[in-house]
Amino acid sequence: MNPGIDDLPVRDELRGKSPYGAPQLDVPVRLNTNENPYPLPEPLVERITERVREAARDLNRYPDRDAVELRTALAAYLTRTGGHRVGVENVWAANGSNEVIQQLLQAFGGPGRTAIGFEPSYSMHALIARGTGTGWISGPRGEDFTIDLPAAEKAIAEHRPDVVFVTTPNNPTGNAVPAETVIALYDAAQAAKPSMVVVDEAYIEFSHGASLLPLLEGRPHLVVSRTMSKAFGAAGLRLGYLAAHPAVVDAVQLVRLPYHLSAITQVTALAALEHTDTLLKYVEQLKGERDRLVTELRAMGYEVTESDANFVQFGRFADSHAAWRRILDRGVLVRDNGVPGRLRVSAGTPAENDAFLDAVRDLKNEQE
């Protein structure tokens, strides 16, 4: 007999479920996982090599468990770009913001507790909730994919969740959440429980608007999570981080595995941070390309959700999966996130975006 997952004594809540699985297909143009399309610049590659070589000599030792040098550099980056002074004591880092979110749910969620997100949103919030035994509540979003504040406040008052997720800019829809909405959700969450409010700013560097870091002032239950996967073009590095009150940083240390952040990861992230200004220039280019995608898709007659991220949600399609297939047949991989009638495309290089626009122009012509 060849047992499958459901023949094993897995936890009940994992039965019949699928793992996170954006297709990793070998096609000419891959615009499906919101990666940065630009390889790291050569001087940065050199610097990483230099720092890794140095660190390699000490690999007989465990890494700095508290990643102090890296957290200090991340704090300086946030202070410089986020409009709010952040110190090392406010910052925590882990292997991707997915791990940051997992640590937050391990510390503030868990069995007998719940978390809420306003969907469609980043699907891993719900999946990590499940993995940590945290009950998941699917909160509402309006027809235009903005957070319907009265409905959201009602859901928070009714369910009294322990953790509230707000993704801004939101994935997969692309739109940002105004600061006033986050403040109102925070107040609702404090009145109901009080609970932790996690603002997932994975894409904030691509936004037309500012980071919500200044909201940390006087809000000890607020957490802002970030990543180097998108703006820093370093998805392969696996480095996510958070900014919050120092007590939150203490709390996640209760659940983090000892030495969770390898010495190689720490020095590589430090090297990338030394090249922040160069990397942020690519972000400016990508913002321009994102805006071009919005304009050109609209000109073709597609419905496009306002985007503050490095991707664009577009539609409508009678059958979005069939449309996804037909775009793939033209050598361009986009993402079907299961939002009815919609697909999502990540902003690539100008040539990749041209290939995508040609593919969807063909599709439009065939439909007409």
Question: Which range of residues in 3-11, 75-83, 94-102, 356-364 is near ligand PMP by CB under 6 A?
Answer: 94-102
Question: How far apart (Å, rounded) are the C-alpha atoms in residues 49 and 110?
Answer: 40
Alpha-carbon gap, residue 184 to 146, rounded angstroms: 14
Neighbours of 89 (CB within 10 A): 15
Burial (Cβ within 10 Å: 0-12, 13-18, ≥19) of residue 95: middle
The residue nearest ligand PMP at its CB is 96
Question: Could you tell me the smallest distance in angstroms from the CB atom of residue 202 to ligand PMP?
Answer: 4
With contacts defined by CB under 6 A, how many residues of the chain interact with ligand PMP? 13
Give the whole-angstrom CA distance, residue 95 versus residue 75.
17
The reply on whether position 202 binds ligand PMP by CB under 6 A is yes
Contact string (CB under 6 A) for ligand PMP, positions 312-351, x = contact: ----------------------------------------
Q: Let me know: does 344 contact 334? Beta carbons within 8 Å.
A: yes
Closer to ligand PMP by CB, 128 or 249: give it: 128
d(CA 108, CA 126): 14
Residues 29-88, interacting with ligand PMP (CB under 6 A): 34
> From residue 239 to residue 258, what is the string marking binding to ligand PMP with x (rule CB under 6 A)?
-x------------------
CB-CB contact of 143 with 340 (8 Å): no
120 belongs to the binding site for ligand PMP (CB under 6 A):
no
Q: Considering the rule CB under 6 A, would residue 175 count as an interface residue with ligand PMP?
A: no
The alpha carbon of residue 2 and the mean position of all alpha carbons in its chain are separated, in whole angstroms, by 37
Distance of alpha carbon 216 from alpha carbon 60, whole angstroms: 39
305 binds ligand PMP per the rule CB under 6 A: no
- Nearest distance from residue 361's CB to ligand PMP, in Å? 27
Note the residues at the interface with ligand PMP (CB under 6 A): 34, 96-98, 122, 167, 171, 200, 202, 227, 229, 235, 240
